[in-house]
């Protein structure tokens, strides 16, 4: 049984997901082109310059999978793992909690919140409903 969702909920989901997608596209594409400020900031986090391309590819692939309706759940899972790596990096550096460490958590809330609002199966999982 497929239920229709309200326009408000659908647009809220689209905006939430869209913000996360746009941020991750910008972040990943910048890593692919490697301007000086991206290289400098990534190296200051403890990564080597040759890691930047791989991080950009993984972020872009995860974001594309999230943006495509058929693979959106897989994309959300991969983005969650990516955000976990970002959190671990920031914790290791004793970064400020609310501005830096929790930023990937905010993105994850947008990713999963948007998905939950537009996908009944995901909503059932999070709300533990059997129907």
Domain ranges of the chain: 7-124
Q: Could you tell me if 111 and 76 are in contact, meaning their C-beta atoms sit under 8 angstroms apart?
A: yes
- Looking at residue 125, its pLDDT comes to 87
Rounded to a whole number of angstroms, the CA Rg of the chain reads 16
* 42: CB partners within 8 A, 6+ apart: 31, 49, 51, 52, 55
pTM over the 0.85 mark = yes
- Looking at residue 99, its pLDDT comes to 82
pLDDT digits (tens, 9 = 90+) for 12-49: 999 999 999 999 999 999 999 999 999 999 999 999 99
Q: Could you tell me if 115 and 20 are in contact, meaning their C-beta atoms sit under 8 angstroms apart?
A: no
- Looking at residue 1, its pLDDT comes to 47
Nearest Cα to Cα of residue 39 among 25, 23, 55, 24? 55
Positions in the chain whose pLDDT score sits under 50: 1
Structure tokens at 30: 């910048």
């Amino acid at each position: 049984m497929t239920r229709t969702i309200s326009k408000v909920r659908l647009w809220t989901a689209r905006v939430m997901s869209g913000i996360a997608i746009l941020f991750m596209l910008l972040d990943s594409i910048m890593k692919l082109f490697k301007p000086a400020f991206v290289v400098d900031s990534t190296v200051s986090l403890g990564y080597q310059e040759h890691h930047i391309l791989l991080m950009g590819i993984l972020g872009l692939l995860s974001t594309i999978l999230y943006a495509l309706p058929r693979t959106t759940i897989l994309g959300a899972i991969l983005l969650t793992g990516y955000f976990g790596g970002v959190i671990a990096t920031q914790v290791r550096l004793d970064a400020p909690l609310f501005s830096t460490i929790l930023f990937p958590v905010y993105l994850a809330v947008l990713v999963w919140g948007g998905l939950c609002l537009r996908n009944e199966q995901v909503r059932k999982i999070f709300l533990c409903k059997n129907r």
